[in-house]
Amino acid sequence: MLNDLSDTEDDEMLILQAAVFLIVLVGIDEARQNQIRNRNQHRLYLRRRDLLPNPRAATPWQALWDGQNDRAFITTMGFDVQTFRYFLEGPGRFAEQWEETPIPRRDVSTQGEPCLGARSLDACGALGLVLHYLSSAMLEVHLQQIFALVPSTVTRYLSFSLDILYEVLLEMEEAEISMPQTVEEFESESELICARHPLLRGTFGGLDGLSLTAETSDDPEMENATYNGWKSGHCINNVIEFSPQGTIIMAVLNAPGSWHDARVARPIFTALEDVPDGFFLVADTAFPRGSASINGKI
């Protein structure tokens, strides 16, 4: 009788231990699932199942490309259709380099043949991607929606396309940023301005600052550098020098948002030392007249 009672108690203890062990396992699994769910709430990207199935068909980008509308191209990428095609088509241009160069990957030889059919975007799509990226402050998640690309592909294609676009622009005379070099060139620019503003004789261009919104960095040092107290936001500061023809003749780009325009413009002040006497830039009061070496040049 006592033995039977002891056996029953042992069985009950084993069942209790098994139940406790099972409860602990369920609790651990539930905690892990909660951790995954909480982590996913902070992920700012989309997975393939969240996107349109085919990046080369029926995407917002494809609708834009098929429309060939100047207004739409300028609004989203900063260039009209003709200029976009000028970057894209022809010897040495974007499409040729896109189709002849393998996309850098650890598992792909840089000397191999490009596998164009396996790429998510064709050349015009890749150029559209990089111009969308350069022309706005949108998050990459928006690029994922427009082009139906997963995050890793967006990152890889942006890096590759930026390199190609840079090489293309280096070879284009129209893309050169250069100040006038001779007295005759300075006089020609000044005459264009004087035709409308006769009292500004000697002016060869204008100087202005451009502040672009930037994402808040997780790095405290970078966050502090890009914060502009006057605008109460994070930004990147640029100073651009324009000619009366509407072209950029000098620029200082991607300076910290905490810098004043006068500090950003120091390389331009240095370049003004070589400007012939009698010629100057027009600027607002954000830019000081500078040192004695550029007296009368601003």
Place of tokens 């129209």: 174
DSSP 211: E
pLDDT digits (tens, 9 = 90+) for 51-82: 888 888 889 999 999 999 999 999 999 999 99
What pLDDT sits at residue 2?
Answer: 44
Helix, strand, coil proportions of the chain in percent (round to 5)? Answer: 50, 15, 35
Residue 11 pLDDT grade (very low, low, confident, very high; cuts 50, 70, 90): low
Q: Which residue has the higher pLDDT, 39 or 188?
A: 188
pLDDT digits (tens, 9 = 90+) for 165-189: 999 999 998 888 899 999 999 999 9
- On the question of pLDDT at 191 being above 80, the answer is yes
Rounded to 5°, the CA angle 179-184-190 comes to: 70
Rounded to 5°, the CA angle 171-56-141 comes to: 80
pTM to 2 decimals? Answer: 0.70
pLDDT digits (tens, 9 = 90+) for 215-240: 777 788 888 888 888 778 888 899 99
Q: Which residue has the higher pLDDT, 155 or 23?
A: 155
Please compute the mean of the pLDDT values over residues 92-119 and round it to a whole number: 80
